Structure 1
Amino acid sequence: MSATLLDGHDVVLFDLDGTVYRGGELVSGALEAVGEVHQQDVAVRYVTNNASKTDRDVAQHLTKLGLPAQPEEVSTSAQAGAAMLADQLPRAAKVLVVGSSALESEVDNVGLVPVRSYGDDPVAVVQGHSTETTWRDLAEACLAIRAGALWVACNGDRTLPTERGELPGNGAMVAALQAATGKDPQVAGKPERPLLQRAVASAHAGSPLMVGDRLDTDIAGAVNAGMPSLLVLTGVSTAAELLGAPPELRPGHVAADLRALHRPRPESAIAEQPGWKVRVDGHRLELSAQSGESPLDPFAALRALCATWWPNGDGSPTVHACDDQAESALRTLDLG
């Protein structure tokens, strides 16, 4: 029997929104896929750039959705940001917090003193997403940073996906302070390495697999950390974005959803695929089916397209279907 994608890994790092759940519902197949990871005695870590909630809050949310989770299985960018501060500051140092009470708690948990005013003489600033952040909060942080305070941002996500659409994320607030101070923060969350490295260390693991739905955070983070990754097309990033992705955003595997973890490794690997042929003609790809059997897997077509295009070109190519099966696959992938 062929080895599955999970085989050989001792921890799976799952992104949350768009990978495990979407809003108030689990992604199709997530409950069974994550459950099987546990049954295989492989550690699970949920890694989230969201610094506004505690690990307990995240675990409770997952449990309410029907996926039992423990706080120790959750790694947040707030925890990673606080850990970065603790590594560089003496115990009981004052840290100006721009963010939620959850971030404030993480600063306290590592032996530092959270404050909210420049007048309290902070030696560092930590910034995480909060819907309650005001101009005053940014002003206090601006004064501290301009005075030389160490600055750590929990993540640099410029937008936050919501039911209403993309709204300003922590990165947008970070950008405001960058403009006001002329300085750049250290960043804890994806795509930087600290959050992922902390999650792996917490599981005492040495062979991680990153799974996510965003090229610019999940997959880029895995590339930065030197770990293999699986992109699932259940969230933000699209087939077209994957095909045109630069090397620093390219996963080794892509699949429709998390069930790929328990299928033979070659079925999700970005490589030439049985049943599909791809021809390169300048900045154009021609896709054709090599089998009369129907239907062929459209996601296998995507893997074949990426395997052919990535070594031969850059940017986003145009894709042409040479037959009905190829046309159907491209329609499913929203390519063409």
Structure 2
Amino acid sequence: MTDGARLVDGYALVVFDLDGVIYLIDRPIPGAVQAVGRLHDEGRAVAYATNNASRRSSEVADLLTGLGVAARPEEVLTSAVAAAELLGNRYPAGAPVLVVGAEALRAEVRAAGLTPVDRAEQSPVAVIQGYGPQVGWADLAEAAVAVRGGAAWIATNTDRTLPSARGPLPGNGALVAALRAALGRDPDVVVGKPAPELFVTAARRVGAGRTLVVGDRLDTDIEGAVRAGLDSLLVLTGVSDVADLLAAPPERRPTYVSQDLAGLFDPSAAVRMSGAPPAAGWSAALRDGHVELSGAGHPLDALPALCAAAWSLAEPPRVRATSPEAERVLTAFGLPSA
């Protein structure tokens, strides 16, 4: 931050994505527990928004608490809750809904006053589809029959992958894509990020004051914040990296970037991507179809210059360094110098 102010001081609420921001699989990301604890100590409002539909809000809060993050169920917003509430507002109490997903999704449908079913012959008014490790062909077949029979099709999210210790694995978006291929059409509603509902709901609960969304994915967290009209901080601890950032279309460009959650408190650990004077020491120019980085200074401060040049191009750019210092920055960002 070029003005020396703490990023967090400009916001009444901080909304965190979970996997890739607070934890990775089942381990807290270094510094995350301490960062959230510091927000609590300062009396700041926090919330957690996740596309994961395989856990209930209370289960997510218990998971966070077990990792050292003191979280309450009412602070957790899941795509399962949002999707079930949408259906509960749309259909009469007791209406049958075919659930494709984990038991947690069935529980949320039940909590919304609806009746979970698993067969198309039970005349469901809607199909609700979320990730579940046991979802298989038979579940998708029932959903296809029900949707062709007139049931509405609601997807909790369309994340193509989910992280694992072995690398990215198929997420709910991959399962939605299978059903989309079979039906020849898209879901009627997608509730989770990048749809703005989770973030808008979180901001509405707090009321007055600005909201900052913190996420690790440009295609869900950051796009969702942009669609909700909220500022965002991309942390480089999860899925999206600097190469993704350079290629990001306007709807996926964050307000700020930091390596991790230290950027909330340390002005030197977060950089504003637009609307602020460029940091001294770095420049990026277009030459022969390349983005050339030159200068010296804090590596993170090179990002606004790199992105400003890259975002002016129609295609993802090739980047090259013009100095040893710039070469080290590109290496640190995982960018091969052309």
Task: Give the TM-score normalised by structure 2.
Answer: 0.92
Partner of 1:252: 255
Partner of 2:293: 287
Range that drifts further, 78-87 or 193-202: 193-202
Partner of 2:314: 314
Q: Does 1:192 align with 2:198?
A: no
Counterpart amino acid of residue 98 in structure 1 = V
Deviation, 1:205, is: 5.3
Kept after mapping to 1: 8 A contact 2:310/2:316: no
| SS of structure 1 residue aligned to 2:145 | helix
Counterpart amino acid of residue 113 in structure 2 = G
Deviations 1:18-50 (A, max 9, x none): 111112322122122212222333211111111
Deviations 1:188-223 (A, max 9, x none): 101112222223233445521111111111111111
Deviation, 1:265, is: 8.8
Deviation, 1:157, is: 1.1
Task: Give the TM-score normalised by structure 1.
Answer: 0.93
Partner of 2:183: 181
Partner of 1:327: 327
* Cα distance in 2 for residues equivalent to 1:62 and 1:203: 21
Q: RMSD of the TM alignment (CA)?
A: 1.8
Deviation, 1:322, is: 1.5
* Cα distance in 1 for residues equivalent to 2:141 and 2:249: 37
Deviations 1:61-115 (A, max 9, x none): 1122122211111111101111221222122211111111110111111111111
Deviation, 1:282, is: 4.4
Partner of 1:293: none
Range that drifts further, 121-130 or 2-11: 2-11
Partner of 2:303: 302
Once the two structures are superposed, the pairs formed by residues 77-156 of structure 1 within 5 Å of their partners are: 77-156=79-158
Q: Does 1:224 align with 2:227?
A: yes
* Cα distance in 2 for residues equivalent to 1:121 and 1:153: 19
Question: What 5-or-longer segments of structure 1 have no aligned partner?
Answer: 291-295
Partner of 1:276: 282
Task: Give the counterpart of 1:208 among 208, 211, 225.
Answer: 211
Identity %: 50
Range that drifts further, 250-259 or 266-275: 266-275
- Label 1:298 to 1:265 Cα distance change in 2 as closer, same or farther (>3 A): closer
Once the two structures are superposed, the pairs formed by residues 52-67 of structure 1 within 5 Å of their partners are: 52-67=54-69
Number of paired residues? 330
* Cα distance in 1 for residues equivalent to 2:284 and 2:170: 40
Deviation, 1:309, is: 3.0
| SS of structure 2 residue aligned to 1:32 | helix
| SS of structure 1 residue aligned to 2:9 | coil
